[in-house]
Amino acid sequence: MAIKDKFQFLYGERAQVICHAPGRVNLMGDHTDYNLGFVLPAAINFGTDIAASKRTDNRICVTALDLDASQVIFSLDDIEFDEHQTWSNYIRGCLRALKARFPDFAGANLAISGNVPRGAGLSSSASLEMALLRAIASLYDLALDGVTAALMGQQAENEFVGCNCGIMDQLISAEGRSGRALLLDCRNLSRRYAKLPADLGILIVNSNVKRGLVDSEYNTRRRQCEAVARHLGQPSLREVTLAMLEAARHELDETDYRRARHVLGENQRTLDMLEALQAQDLKRVGSLMAESHASLKEDFAVTVAQTDALVGILTEAIGEEGGARMTGGGFGGCVVALGSKAALARAETAVRERYEALTGLTPDIYLCHAVDGAFAQKELTDN
- N-to-C CA span, the chain: 40
Q: Cβ contacts of residue 12 below 8 Å, gap of 6+?
A: none
Q: Given phi > 0 = left and psi -120 to 50 = alpha, else beta, which region is 91?
A: alpha
Packed helices 88-101 and 124-139: angle between N→C axes, nearest 10 degrees:
40
Task: Output DSSP code: residue 161.
Answer: I
Cβ contact 339:175 at 8 Å = no
Q: Which residues are known catalytic residues?
A: 169
Q: Which of 197, 204, 188 is nearest to 27 (CA)?
A: 204
Q: How many CB atoms lie within 10 A of CB 357?
A: 7
% helix, strand, coil for the chain, step of 5: 45, 20, 35
Q: For residue 214, what are the β-bridge partners?
A: none
State which H helix or E strand residue 44 sits in: strand 38-54
User: How far is CA 334 from each of CA 82, 98, 328, rounded to the nearest angstrom?
Assistant: 28, 31, 7
Q: Given phi > 0 = left and psi -120 to 50 = alpha, else beta, which region is 162?
A: left
Cβ contact 308:178 at 8 Å = no
* Separation of alpha carbons 30 and 38, rounded Å: 9
